[in-house]
Structure formats: C-alpha cells, structure tokens
Structure 1
Amino acid sequence: MSKELVVKTNRLNQAFQTLSLSEFHIVQLAIVDARHTGTGLSTDTPLRIDALRYAEVFGTTRQNAYQRMKEAEDSLFNRRFSFFDEDGKLVKSRWIQQVKYLDDEGAIELVFTLAVVQGISKIDGIKEFFTQYLLSQTAQLNSTYSARLYELLIQWKAIGKTPVFELATFREQLGIGVNEYKRMDHFKTRVLDLAISEISEKTDIEATYQQHKKGRSISGFSFSFKQKKSKTKSLENQTISGNLDLFSKKMTDSQRHLFSNKLSELPEMSKYSQGTESYPQFAVRIAEMLKDSEKLKEFAPMLEKVGYR
C-alpha cells in the first residue's frame, strides 16, 4: 500500500462536503484504484471495488468490509457536495450517479458524476493544481473530521502551514452541519482538538493550530505542521545497489523525460516540489534537474525504484 496515492485537484479537495468515514474510504479507494489499475474514472464505465481490498486497506474482515461498503453506498448515492469552479461560480453535485451490488462476489460497482471525474482526472492537466497523500496515512484514522482535516493540511505540505481558514467555510469543508457544534468550545474540544491529536498520533505529520479573531469572536483558524522523522533511513541515505557508474553518466533526453514523469509521482520526491504545481510542471523541472550529474546521483535511489538500470 506504500505506493498508493490519493490524488485530486485542489478544487475538489476544498469542496464543501459531508461524508461518513466509510463513505470517505470509498472515495479514497476509487481514486487510488482508478490510478493504480490505469483504468481511470469515467462517467459511463463502472469502477469495481472489492470487499477484500477494503478489508486489507482499512483493517477489518471481508464480511464487515462489504457491509460497510453497502451502507456507505446507500447514503453516498444521495450525498451532495459543492465547490467553486474556475470562474468563481458555486457548483453543486452528487458524488455518484449509479451503484450496483455484487453480493455473490463481495463487491460493488459504481459510476461517479462528471464533477468528481473531472476533479480527479484533471490532475494531468497542465493548469490544474493537485493534492496528494499516501492512502496509508489516513487508513488508521477513526474520525472523518481527522481525515478531512489531514487532506486540507497536506495540500500545503510544501510550506508546512496553511492560510487562515475562514470559520464558516472551514466548517462546511469538514462536513459539519449548521446545527452541530454551534458553541465554539464544543467545536474546538470535540472536533479540532481530537482531530489534531489523532493526526499527530497516527499520520506522518504533527500539527498545531492558531485561532484568529475579529473583535471578540473567533473568525477562523490557521495550522502549522511538520513531517515526523522517519524511523528508518531515508532512501537518499540507503546504499545504492547495482553499478554506481550508471549514475555518473548523462541521461539521454528521452530517458530524462521518461523517468522525470515517473519520479514526479513518487512521495519521496514531494520535498522537491514547489507550491501547488501540477504533475506535468513538476516533471518538467525534474527533467531539467536530471541534466545535473550531482542531482542524478542524489536521485539515484528513486531512479532505481522506478526502473532506471
């Protein structure tokens, strides 16, 4: 599961949404599997999700996984979300338009709506910006608020801090209803504090928040976070197997462009990304860096990982 990336456009990531944890997991698996299998998402081709797959990722039994999936799809079919398009216009959409239960196979097939498909498939567009994280980082989170907050934070991983999230917008992005946690002390203790604690304990980042006021009232929150130190040596410090002479030679132009695209999707390369650049933009910069013999050696462990021999 270490290579399974959840990737979607920032516009979809910032959407106002209300999802249960099981529904959230269904969307995550759909994103990962569509990319992993190479089938992609389509508005007319069903995507299959197996209970065994769900069970392995989220640590439960196959029977329980299928039950969760069925319950999640029953409600997800009626869920709506909203977002602002490139023209600043509010768009409302459902998540899925069709679902089929395969009881004898322990699986479901679903078809997403156009807004969701575009919010995931457009990550390859040069003008789109994306949010990505490893599925394993949120698999152990027990709260949907924790999972959603992690997504909102990790969008800013390049700088380790967020802008101020305006309170009303932030509540909608977390999926909190207008009548839920109306008192600020309840919102902070039952949502924010618990989510921050769980994220810091179970994911790859440690986070804190700061409240902001207008007059006497809290108007929003900003967050700072940092990557935890790895328990094992980083790939950069591991011994490079094979012939070191390979990495002292210059790559051909075709090799640079081929492997820069592969490198751009590795989580280990995220520290080299700038802001919220798209995959193609990142790949172009990597291709330029690969002209440098020192960078070529620095990237050697990752290059071996993606098949450069």
Structure 2
Amino acid sequence: MDVKKNNGLVVMDNKLIRASYKLTVNEIRLILVAVSQMPKDDKPVDPKKAYYITKNDFVRLGVEPKNVARDIRSACKDLLSRIVTIKTPIGDLDTHWVHNVLHFKSEVFEKLKKEHPDAESDEEFISSLRLHNLMDSLPMIANSDDNLIARVVLHEDIIPYISQLREQFTQLMLDDVVDFGSFYSYRVYLMMMQFRSTGICTIKINDLREALDLKDKYEATKDLKVRVIDTAVDEINEKSPFNVTYEMTKTGRKFTHLVLKFKPKKKNTITAKDVFRDPDTVDMFTVDGLNDKQLGRIARNPAFIAEYNHLVSPTSPAGQSQQGWEFEMVNRLKNDPTQFNKRPIRDYLEY
C-alpha cells in the first residue's frame, strides 16, 4: 500500500515530536510511511493493524531505486529494539516504536503463489498465518510483486500519540522531507512544524539534546552547532519548502535556547513572459524549487511516463531503459519545461 493513497499526511502528537529517541534515517522513513497510512479522523485505530511498506514508498522519500531493498531491510533490522521516551504527567514512559516487524522475502512470492494457488483451502498454510496473526497478509502476498517489502505493527503505547488529534498536534506531508539524509534534519523539521503558524520555534538547548538522545555527544556548543544544528538547518533550507535561520541565545555566559525562524520559500512560476510558448498551450508548469532528485522521481512516476512516453522513440536510449528515460526527461524538464503542460509538474510528486 503506497503512502500516496493517504496523500502522505503524517499526524503526530507534539509529546511524541519532543520525545527522546534516536533512529537511523531509514528507520524514521519507515515510521513516517507507516504513520501516514493511519486514519486521521476520530475513529479508533485497531492496535493490531498492520501497515505495509513498499519500495515505491522509499523511492518517494528520495532513496535510490537500486538501494531501496537494502535500505528497508536495514530499517527493519534494529527497529524492534529502539526505545522512545515520552514525558507523561507522572513520569517518563519508555516504550517501543513497533510491536513487530516482518521483512518479506520477495523471492518467495512467486513460490508461494505456485505452491498455494488456492491458499484459502490450504489448512496448513492458513494455520501458520493465524499462528503469527498474518492473515491480513494473504491478499497482499497473492496480489503482490517484489515491490512489497515490509509489514509493521506499531506498539500500542505509541498509537495514542499518533492517531488521536488532541489539542496540539503536528502535520506534515512526506513530500516536505524528500531526500533528507540526516536524522537531525527530520527531528528539527518536525519540531519546527509545531509552530508553522508563527514561523518561530524556540527550543531549550537541554531539551534539544534530550530529544535527539545526544547524551554526552557534542557537549561543546561549537560542536553541537556544527555537527547537529548546521547539518539540519542546511539540509532543511536545501530540500524542504521552507527557508530557516537560527540564533542561539544566552543566559549569562551559557547558551540556553535555540531560536529557529522560518518561512515558506517563494514559488517561481514560468509563464509566457519568461519562455516562448505556443499561445494555445495552457501555462501550468511550476518550478517551485525542484531539485534534480525530485525531477528524477517525477520522471519515474507511472502517470508521467504514460502521459509523455510519446516524446521519445522506442529505439532511442530513453526508450530502452529506465536510466535512459530518466536522464532524458530530467534534462528536458530543466531545459524546455514547456513540453510538459498536461498538469502542474509538482502533481507527479503526489503519486
């Protein structure tokens, strides 16, 4: 189930945004994909519900297609043991992110389908699935190709902080964090989004260190600034829809607070005033700060391919391989965007 079916919206309680934890970049990607699939209304969430992660989900978040299976496998490997500490009215709650993780072996899909063509009548197979609460995986296996990678069940202690929209919550679109390569970028960006309406986020330095689970790392302010804050801010400025600046404020001689100030980037639109256009062509192309990786993702989008495959010959390099197609389309998007007018180009990032 690709995250596009739920528009990639992620909702988290702010207590979880400020909770103390450390994840790898791939682990936080996996968590965000699972969270984006949860219902965002007031209906209760089944704590046993499984969420399925596909290769397409990770490609959408900027992972190179050739590395995606490896990166999801890496995310699954240690996620079960990761601890998150959430502050409650009576103390700190230590819990896990997930109840269980199943990493599918894609090479067994075809074998399963051949061995169990009528799986519902295979008692041994069904009994094995029931033993591990995997019955919901049967239709996924029956209808899947090797795009399906992982199945996760979130821990019941985490679900209230994700599924219920309380007085304070944070929303973001997965497309906002495409291509983030630093865990610190994800965390700082989530904290910023708590204050999207004001554009100013103030965090105590001690709270920041605790939230990022730094312990005794980067104890010197200059190291914290270079290794953590600058890393996050530079990547957010480059890859997110926001521009951010920051300052560190002092009480006496000690730096005590990090103040982040941010605002949406200005959108640049190519119109008939900027490039030569056929007067009968509707002006719909929006640049909007897309980088090469995002343009590559657009070029790989099935809808984009279906709408523009007439632009290349089947015998040309672009018609012979995915790499050739992507290379050709990215160059065309950058050099002559007027060819791509069937819809706003950014729409292809939503698929």
> Is 1:55–2:59 an aligned residue pair?
yes
Residue 136 of structure 1 deviates from its aligned partner by 0.8
Residue number in structure 2 paired with 1:256: none
Residue number in structure 2 paired with 1:26: 30
- Aligned CA distance change for structure 1 residues 115 and 157 (closer, same or farther; 3 Å): same
Query: Among 128, 152, 159, which residue is 2:167 paired with?
Result: 128
Residue 222 of structure 1 deviates from its aligned partner by 1.5
Equivalent position SS for 1:115? coil
Amino acid at match of 1:98: N
> Is 1:218–2:255 an aligned residue pair?
yes
Amino acid at match of 1:156: F
How many Å separate the matches in 1 of 2:56 and 2:239? 23
> Is 1:160–2:199 an aligned residue pair?
yes
Residue 49 of structure 1 deviates from its aligned partner by 1.0
How many Å separate the matches in 1 of 2:15 and 2:84? 12
Normalised TM-score (structure 1): 0.67
CA contact (8 A) 1:80 1:93 kept: yes
The answer for unaligned runs of 5 or more in structure 1 is 234-238, 240-309
Query: Among 190, 194, 207, which residue is 1:151 paired with?
Result: 190
Equivalent position SS for 2:157? helix
The alignment of Structure 1 onto Structure 2 pairs a total of residues equal to: 226
Query: Among 141, 152, 166, which residue is 1:110 paired with?
Result: 152
The answer for unaligned runs of 5 or more in structure 2 is 107-145, 271-281, 283-351
CA contact (8 A) 1:22 1:72 kept: yes
Residue 174 of structure 1 deviates from its aligned partner by 2.6
Normalised TM-score (structure 2): 0.60
- Aligned CA distance change for structure 1 residues 214 and 206 (closer, same or farther; 3 Å): same
How many Å separate the matches in 2 of 1:5 and 1:134? 5
CA contact (8 A) 1:146 1:195 kept: yes
Residue 41 of structure 1 deviates from its aligned partner by 5.2
Calculate percent identity across the aligned residue pairs. Answer: 24
Residue number in structure 2 paired with 1:65: 68
- Aligned CA distance change for structure 1 residues 204 and 77 (closer, same or farther; 3 Å): same
- Aligned CA distance change for structure 1 residues 41 and 139 (closer, same or farther; 3 Å): farther
Residue number in structure 2 paired with 1:16: 20
Residue number in structure 2 paired with 1:89: 91
Query: Among 81, 98, 102, which residue is 2:100 paired with?
Result: 98
Residue number in structure 2 paired with 1:287: none
Residue 43 of structure 1 deviates from its aligned partner by 2.3
- Aligned CA distance change for structure 1 residues 56 and 205 (closer, same or farther; 3 Å): closer
How many Å separate the matches in 2 of 1:221 and 1:56? 31
Residue number in structure 2 paired with 1:141: 180
Query: Among 72, 76, 79, which residue is 2:79 paired with?
Result: 76
Equivalent position SS for 1:25? helix
Amino acid at match of 1:109: R
Residue number in structure 2 paired with 1:269: none
Question: Greater shift after overlay, 39-48 or 27-36?
Answer: 39-48
Residue number in structure 1 paired with 2:264: 227
Larger Rg: 2
How many Å separate the matches in 2 of 1:21 and 1:57? 11
Residue number in structure 2 paired with 1:119: 161
Residue number in structure 1 paired with 2:132: none
- Aligned CA distance change for structure 1 residues 96 and 192 (closer, same or farther; 3 Å): same
